[in-house]
């Protein structure tokens, strides 16, 4: 029997038929079996009906990409095969729900049809047809059946012995069917050492977890895909520690509630996607003008307008970098992995309070909703820093009737008194104001306080503003957020298949852009290629504003709603490399 060390698997069916949970069970089972598991869900903006699918990739090494191909496909509706067929690897097995059992070779794959529903009904539980298909999946890679049992016992604990028994029976049936009909196609997924040092987690969960651990105790938001899970996670966890979420009337309330809570001294955030981000822009300016620290999460989806509400894109970069009237100080961060989402979210609160300004935390649909396998959390990495909050003793020393909330200081950051402090009474203002917070139109003060606000954030830095891989390479692939997953895979493939080394640069701090630190990896290179999910190459344009790379940079873009496939990007990178080489030869 052939031994394999990676598996790419997909289940497709109609929405509302448990496709997601079927995928989740297999993912978690393989995760516990010792594999690094990464998943990607494809779904539509409706609740019942319509094709949905769940992709899973199990690897012996960490990755952020759910893979281009499929080795085993469970087709639980008629659309699964036509929609996903192009991903089938030669020799793949497709298990399809059908009228009667039939096994036949199709063009490039083996089609195995089983009357899953009828078999499940015979077993006494028609709902268990997905479990039969799961059992077949496990059997095809010789996964010990006990791996499923353990999961079933935990999953259905509350539903009682009978449900547990019938689900186990369904899985057993799947194993039996494979042994009977597909024994010659069975492979063996090599067992790996199990680890208790890993988590299987989504980007939204990691973001919420990181915010929670950083002391965020208030989140106000309005439901929107793909950001809602952040609010839902916080809703489940905050009350126990004296905080709450609030599902408010709209996204303007989402940000303004957070501003109020932050003014009063809580660590507060709001989470949304593009449409909500558009609504928040006036209040974003208020947060910056009043020097109120908040964190705003924009989990991007395909725009513009309502766009493709359940599809992936990275097209809000300009919006996050520039939106709102007037000029404001802002910090824009973008974790480049699900693991980093935890730490970047936690640091976002430190940066917000240290620099007393809004921090925008970018995510994208893939980064938000995919799950992957990450190392456990390092509790020491991000200690909480609340910035220049003053105690009553400290405030008293100033001896002011009206506390100068916007005091001019060397670093531009003013001591901050929280409501309730007897010596810190002041009014925060969205109007231009002097040091005391009172309205002023004095041109000298205006100029000075504008400089204070704009310049104070210059030194703001994430502890890891970017990651570099093979930084000495003369061609760099640059990306943000979930693009890191595809770039890492592309670099791996080019190295393994073509013996070519390309570098990878994954920028986590977009504003203020750490220009000097980035220079060695961007200036003086032969070619800079950004890999980004938008039409206009927004990341490339942002980099071109800071580095003289106009004649040796290009963007590989995609804006069809889907994440990149490694094959496509690798092919395009090779084309660019060829072009560069030909140009050099012609020159020589």
Partner 1 sequence: MSVELKKPTLKDYKGDQPTWCPGCGHFSVMAGLQRALVNLGLHPHEVIIVSGIGCSSKLPEYTRAYGFHTIHGRALPVAQGAKLAAPEMHVIVTGGDGDGYGIGAGHFVHAVRRNMDITYLVMDNSIYGLTKGQTSPTSPHNFVSKTTVKGNKEYPMDGLSIALANGATFVAQAFSGDVKRMTEIIEAAIKHKGFSLVNVLSPCVTYNKVNTYDFYREHLVDVPEPLPTREEAIRVVKEHGGHVHGILYVEKRPDFQTLLGIDWKMRDIAAGPMDEATIREIEAEFM
For the bound state, the minimum distance from the C-beta of residue 442 to partner 1, rounded and expressed in Å, comes to 14
Of 182 and 252, nearer to partner 1 (C-beta) is 252
For the bound state, the minimum distance from the C-beta of residue 45 to partner 1, rounded and expressed in Å, comes to 24
Task: Give the residue, chosen from 160, 399, 422, 443, that forms a contact with partner 1 under the rule CB under 8 A.
Answer: 422
Of 429 and 508, nearer to partner 1 (C-beta) is 429
Considering only 92-100, 233-241, 489-497, 513-521, which stretch makes contact with partner 1 by CB under 8 A?
233-241
| Residues between 154 and 213 that touch partner 1 (CB under 8 A) | 196, 198-201, 205, 209, 212-213
Written as six digits, the tokens of 435 are: 């040091």
Considering only 151-159, 176-184, 243-251, 496-504, which stretch makes contact with partner 1 by CB under 8 A?
243-251
3-state SS string over 437-481?
A: CCECCCHHHHHHHHHHHHHHHHHCCCCCCEEEECCCCCEEEEECC
| Residues between 307 and 366 that touch partner 1 (CB under 8 A) | 346
Rounded Cα distance between 368 and 362, Å, is 10
For the bound state, the minimum distance from the C-beta of residue 428 to partner 1, rounded and expressed in Å, comes to 5
How many other C-beta atoms can be found within 10 angstroms of the C-beta atom of residue 107? 7
For the bound state, the minimum distance from the C-beta of residue 346 to partner 1, rounded and expressed in Å, comes to 7
Q: Is 56 in the site for partner 1 (CB under 8 A)?
A: no
- Give exposure, 344-356, as e/b (b: 16+ Cβ within 10 Å): bbbbbbbbbbbbb
Considering only 73-81, 252-260, 498-506, 555-563, which stretch makes contact with partner 1 by CB under 8 A?
252-260
- CA 392 to chain CA centroid, nearest Å: 41
Cβ–Cβ < 8 Å for 217, 264: no
Partners of residue 95 on adjacent β-strands: 74, 112
Task: Give the residue, chosen from 1, 102, 183, 402, that forms a contact with partner 1 under the rule CB under 8 A.
Answer: 402
| Residues between 138 and 157 that touch partner 1 (CB under 8 A) | none
Determine phi and psi for 521, rounding to 5 degrees: -100, -5
Of 126 and 375, nearer to partner 1 (C-beta) is 375
Pattern 425-464, partner 1, x by CB under 8 A: xxxxxxx-----xxx-------------------------
For the bound state, the minimum distance from the C-beta of residue 353 to partner 1, rounded and expressed in Å, comes to 10
- What's the burial of 170, exposed, middle or buried (CB within 10 Å: 0-12/13-18/19+)? buried
Number of residues that bind partner 1 (CB under 8 A): 76
Of 449 and 518, nearer to partner 1 (C-beta) is 449
Q: Is 499 in the site for partner 1 (CB under 8 A)?
A: no
Considering only 64-72, 216-224, 508-516, 532-540, which stretch makes contact with partner 1 by CB under 8 A?
216-224
Of 147 and 205, nearer to partner 1 (C-beta) is 205
Of 21 and 391, nearer to partner 1 (C-beta) is 391
Rounded Cα distance between 254 and 498, Å, is 50
Cβ–Cβ < 8 Å for 245, 254: no
For the bound state, the minimum distance from the C-beta of residue 251 to partner 1, rounded and expressed in Å, comes to 11
Pattern 468-487, partner 1, x by CB under 8 A: --------------------
Please report the DSSP string for 330-375 in residue order.
Answer: -EEE--SSHHHHHHHHHHHHHHHHHHTS-EEEEEEHHHHH-EEEEE
Partners of residue 104 on adjacent β-strands: 111
Q: What angle do CA 356, 358, 361 make, to 5 degrees?
A: 135
Of 209 and 564, nearer to partner 1 (C-beta) is 209
Of 309 and 434, nearer to partner 1 (C-beta) is 434
| Residues between 549 and 578 that touch partner 1 (CB under 8 A) | none
Task: Give the residue, chosen from 50, 62, 115, 215, that forms a contact with partner 1 under the rule CB under 8 A.
Answer: 215
Cβ–Cβ < 8 Å for 51, 386: no
Considering only CA atoms, give the Rg of the chain.
27
Long-range contacts of the stretch 392-398 (C-beta < 8 A, 24+): 392/421, 392/422, 392/423, 392/424, 395/421, 395/422, 395/423, 395/424, 396/422, 396/423, 398/423
Determine phi and psi for 154, rounding to 5 degrees: -75, -45
Task: Give the residue, chosen from 106, 157, 250, 575, that forms a contact with partner 1 under the rule CB under 8 A.
Answer: 250
Of 129 and 217, nearer to partner 1 (C-beta) is 217
Task: Give the residue, chosen from 168, 217, 456, 525, that forms a contact with partner 1 under the rule CB under 8 A.
Answer: 217
Considering only 90-98, 125-133, 413-421, 480-488, which stretch makes contact with partner 1 by CB under 8 A?
413-421
Task: Give the residue, chosen from 268, 332, 351, 555, that forms a contact with partner 1 under the rule CB under 8 A.
Answer: 268
- What's the burial of 427, exposed, middle or buried (CB within 10 Å: 0-12/13-18/19+)? middle
Of 282 and 470, nearer to partner 1 (C-beta) is 282
Q: What angle do CA 11, 12, 16 make, to 5 degrees?
A: 110
Of 385 and 497, nearer to partner 1 (C-beta) is 385
Rounded Cα distance between 471 and 312, Å, is 28
Considering only 277-285, 500-508, 556-564, 572-580, which stretch makes contact with partner 1 by CB under 8 A?
277-285
Q: How far is CA 479 from CA 294, 414, 466, in A?
A: 26, 35, 10
Of 381 and 458, nearer to partner 1 (C-beta) is 381
For the bound state, the minimum distance from the C-beta of residue 255 to partner 1, rounded and expressed in Å, comes to 8
**409 Cβ contact partners less than 8 Å away, ≥ 6 residues apart:** 415
Would you state the torsion angle of the CA atoms of residues 240, 245, 246, 252, taken in this order, to the nearest 10 degrees?
A: 160
Of 16 and 375, nearer to partner 1 (C-beta) is 375
Pattern 362-401, partner 1, x by CB under 8 A: --------------xx-xx-xxxxx----xxx-------x
Of 267 and 525, nearer to partner 1 (C-beta) is 267
Cβ–Cβ < 8 Å for 129, 77: no
């Amino acid at each position: 029997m052939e031994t394999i060390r990676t598996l790419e698997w997909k289940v497709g069916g109609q929405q509302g038929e448990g496709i997601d949970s079927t995928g989740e069970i297999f993912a978690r089972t393989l995760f516990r079996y010792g594999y690094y598991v990464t998943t990607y869900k494809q779904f539509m903006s409706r609740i019942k009906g319509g094709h949905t699918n769940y992709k899973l990739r199990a690897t012996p090494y960490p990755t952020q990409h759910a893979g281009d191909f499929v080795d085993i496909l469970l087709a639980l509706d008629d659309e699964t095969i036509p929609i996903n067929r192009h991903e089938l690897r030669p020799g793949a097995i497709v298990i399809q729900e059908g009228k009667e059992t039939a096994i036949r070779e199709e063009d490039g794959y083996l089609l195995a049809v089983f009357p899953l529903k009828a078999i499940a009904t015979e077993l006494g539980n028609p709902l268990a047809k997905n479990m039969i298909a799961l059992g077949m999946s496990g059997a095809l890679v010789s996964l010990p059946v006990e791996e499923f049992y353990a999961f079933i016992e935990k999953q259905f604990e509350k539903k009682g012995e009978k449900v547990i028994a019938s689900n186990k029976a369904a899985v057993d049936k799947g194993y039996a069917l494979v042994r009977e009909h597909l024994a010659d196609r069975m492979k063996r997924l090599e067992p790996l050492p199990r680890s208790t040092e890993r988590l299987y987690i989504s980007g939204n969960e990691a973001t919420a977890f990181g915010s929670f651990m950083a002391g965020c105790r208030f989140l106000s938001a309005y439901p929107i895909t793909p950001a809602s899970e952040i609010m839902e996670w916080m809703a489940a966890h905050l009350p126990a520690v004296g905080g709450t979420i609030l599902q408010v009337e709209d996204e303007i309330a989402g940000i303004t509630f957070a501003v109020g809570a932050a003014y009063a001294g809580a660590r507060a955030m709001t989470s949304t996607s593009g449409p909500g981000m558009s609504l928040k822009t006036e209040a974003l300016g208020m947060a910056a003008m009043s020097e109120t620290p908040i964190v705003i999460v924009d989990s991007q989806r395909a725009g513009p307008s309502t766009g493709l509400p359940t599809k992936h894109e990275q097209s809000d970069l300009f919006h996050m970098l520039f939106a709102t009237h007037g000029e404001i100080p802002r910090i824009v961060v973008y974790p480049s992995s699900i693991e980093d989402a935890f730490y970047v979210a936690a640091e976002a609160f430190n940066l917000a309070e240290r620099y007393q300004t809004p921090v925008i935390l970018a995510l994208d649909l893939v980064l938000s909703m995919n799950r992957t396998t990450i190392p456990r959390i390092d509790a020491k990495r991000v200690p909480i820093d609340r910035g220049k909050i003053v105690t009553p003793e400290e405030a008293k020393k100033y001896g002011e009737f009206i506390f100068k909330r916007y005091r001019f200081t060397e670093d531009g950051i003013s001591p901050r008194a929280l409501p309730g402090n007897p010596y810190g009474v002041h009014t925060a203002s969205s109007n231009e104001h002097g040091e005391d917070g009172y309205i002023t139109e004095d041109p000298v003060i205006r100029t000075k306080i504008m400089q204070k606000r704009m310049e104070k954030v210059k030194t703001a830095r994430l502890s890891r503003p970017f990651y570099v891989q093979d930084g000495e390479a003369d061609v760099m692939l640059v990306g943000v957020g979930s693009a890191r997953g595809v770039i890492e895979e592309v670099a791996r493939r080019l190295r393994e298949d073509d013996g070519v080394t390309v570098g990878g640069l994954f920028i986590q701090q977009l504003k203020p852009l750490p220009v000097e630190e980035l220079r060695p990896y961007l200036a003086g290179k032969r070619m800079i290629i950004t890999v980004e999910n938008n039409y206009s190459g927004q990341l490339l344009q942002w980099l071109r504003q800071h580095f003289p790379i106009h004649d040796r940079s290009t963007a590989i873009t995609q804006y069809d709603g889907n994440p990149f496939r490694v094959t496509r990007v690798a092919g395009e990178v090779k084309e660019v490399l060829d072009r560069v080489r030909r140009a050099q030869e012609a020159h020589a």
